[in-house]
Amino acid sequence: LQPSPLKDKTIMVTAGPTREKIDPVRFLTNHSTGKMGYAIAKEAAHLGANVILISGPTSLTPPNHVTFISVESAHEMYEKVMHFYKSSDIVIKSAAVADYKPKNVYEQKMKKKNGDLIIELERTTDILKELGKAKEKQILIGFAAETNDVEKYARKKLETKNLDMIVANNVSQNGAGFATDTNIVTIFHKNGESIKYPQMSKKEVAKVILKEIEKIVEGVK
């Protein structure tokens, strides 16, 4: 059996949600469990890659034979991703990073008051966009979690974030997206090609993503 072209490549994978603190007991987050990203990290390690898994808070056990880095907020994820970027050959960004964080983080627990509460939010750094700008030799793979106009938004992210490939999932479909053991994805390549897959386990989805990345490494795509 031929070794994979990904053998000995350094692959950084991000997974899971981020948590954006409101006060010491509350935070903003999303439904990501890390299943998709951990499956990719595990399959990449099987192929002989050096895997760095940067993960937000999840209840999963990190796969064997990966360098595991645990983070909490979008900012922490940004710092760790940037730290490992130069030494990475391939980056796969399956994490569900918060787009907004509370502008002020209260040091003490916020007390209930009468009436409504307004929490002002500000944008977090778009990590993937920064990676796209700073790209040297790296192969950059993004995800797109959409509920509508999946192809249009995925292609737009592929272009504006300077990616080589994007994995789109319609997160409003049953059996796709957040928290499920399966996913339904379409892969878009930079050259305009796209491949639509049926519902598969996240392990199988991880395998097809890595197969498409192998083609990029080999110069076929």
- Which residues of the chain form contacts with ligand PMT (CB under 6 A)? 16, 32-36, 74, 93-97, 99, 124, 126-128, 142-145, 157, 169, 171, 177-179
126 is in an annotated binding site: no
Closer CB to ligand PMT, 48 or 99, in the complex: 99
109 is in an annotated binding site: yes
149 is in an annotated binding site: no
CB 2 → ligand PMT: shortest distance, Å? 29
CA-nearest of 45, 87, 89, 46 to 68 is 45
Closer CB to ligand PMT, 110 or 195, in the complex: 195
CB 157 → ligand PMT: shortest distance, Å? 6
Name the catalytic one among 30, 104, 148, 162. Answer: 30
190 is in an annotated binding site: no
Question: In b/e form, how buried is each residue of 197-217, taking b as 16+ CB within 10 angstroms?
Answer: eeebebbbbbbbbbebbbebe
Q: Is 148 a catalytic residue?
A: no
CB 14 → ligand PMT: shortest distance, Å? 6
Closer CB to ligand PMT, 48 or 75, in the complex: 75
101 is in an annotated binding site: no
Closer CB to ligand PMT, 11 or 24, in the complex: 11
CB 221 → ligand PMT: shortest distance, Å? 19
Residues with a catalytic annotation lie at 30
Annotated binding-site residues for CTP read 99, 109, 143, 157, 161
Annotated binding-site residues read 99, 109, 143, 157, 161
